[in-house]
Amino acid sequence: MNQVPKQIELADVPANVASWNVAKIPGFVPAVLGRWQRAHATLPEHFFMVMCPQVEVNARGGLPARVIELTDSRLRCKHFTGCSKPYFVVLFMGEQGDAQRARVQALLPWSESYSVTLLDDLIRLQFVDATEDVSEESAPPQLKNRLQELLKSGEIVSILA
């Protein structure tokens, strides 16, 4: 496949995810996949994809070390929506793609994942999962401890005022 199709088909996205997902933004997914394909090689017909707002990654102190361990740097990228909102996107290929996707997605708040099938004239996105928030255990300890200190001291009130 030389060119990534421009049309997408979203399937089985739950209503609660449909209210905030990035996959529905016209042109976003084709732009991400087209950019990746221009920089690397032809995409396989089937793979998995996770997308997460970069602001959520930043709010938790950056990309978790475990995400870096579990992903290939060539399959990770940042891409902007049409309204300049950056997203962290990672692709998962091969037999272990779905298992790796699940491990990584559990660490990324407000992320959505899809099974992607590239057809000649269509990108088919089959919803797999969404993570609205991640457990406190996955937050960087320094961030979690600092927030608790601010709450305990009352300093949070002066920051928010």
Hey, how many other C-beta atoms are within 10 angstroms of the C-beta on 89?
23
pLDDT band at residue 95 under the 50/70/90 scheme: very high
pLDDT band at residue 60 under the 50/70/90 scheme: confident
Residue 137 has a pLDDT of 53
- pLDDT digit string, tens, across residues 132-159: 886 655 455 555 566 666 667 776 666 6
* Residue-wise burial string across 12-35, b where 16 or more C-beta atoms lie within 10 A, e elsewhere: ebeeebeeebbbbeeebbbbbbbe
Looking at per-residue confidence, does 146 or 46 come out higher?
46
pLDDT band at residue 82 under the 50/70/90 scheme: confident
pLDDT band at residue 118 under the 50/70/90 scheme: very high
Among candidates 47, 132, 32, 38, which has minimal Cα distance to 88?
Answer: 32
Q: What is the mean predicted confidence (pLDDT) over 75-80?
A: 88
Residue 157 has a pLDDT of 66
Mean pLDDT, the chain, integer: 87
Q: What is the mean predicted confidence (pLDDT) over 67-92?
A: 90
pTM, to two decimals:
0.80
Helix locations, the chain, DSSP H: 15-18, 28-39, 54-59, 65-70, 97-105, 141-153, 155-160
